[in-house]
Amino acid sequence: MEQTILTIINSIRIAQELTPVTELHTTDNLREDLELTSFDLAELTVRIEDKYGIDIFEDGLVNTIGEIYNKLQQ
């Protein structure tokens, strides 16, 4: 699951001409550390929902990679 999230995030970063990251940390902030815009976060949400059937923003805010992992492990 972690590798899948890394792949999705890097595909979004590459589309925005940002350098891919080699690894993700649970404390990485989606906006500040990974430089994702609202547009990117919406793309990320849809890609995760398509893959796992879970809307990560459905019942609250998600700011970090760790929070995404938690949503997907619930």
Partner 1 sequence: MTKLPENLELDRYGLHVRLVREEDAEFIVKLRNDPQKARYISVTSKSVDDQIRWIKSYKERECEGKDYYFIYSYQGQLAGVNRIYEIEDNHFIHGSWVFGDNIPPYCALAAGIIALELAYDTLGLDVEIDTAGIHKDNHGVLQYIRALGAEFTGTKIYPMGEFYTSQLSKELFYKNKNKIIRLFPKKIL
Nearer to partner 1, 6 or 18 (CB): 18
Nearer to partner 1, 6 or 29 (CB): 29
x/- string (CB under 8 A) for partner 1, residues 11-30? Answer: -----x--------------
What is the Cα–Cα distance from 68 to 33, expressed in whole angstroms?
Answer: 15
* CA dist 74 → 31, 52, 67 (Å): 23, 12, 11
Near partner 1 by CB under 8 A: residue from 9, 40, 64, 65: 40
Number of amino acids touching partner 1 (CB under 8 A): 16
Burial of 28 (0-12, 13-18, 19+ CB in 10 A): middle
What is the Cα–Cα distance from 46 to 40, expressed in whole angstroms?
Answer: 10
Which residues are at the interface with partner 1 (CB under 8 A)? Answer: 16, 31, 37-43, 45-46, 49, 55, 57-58, 61
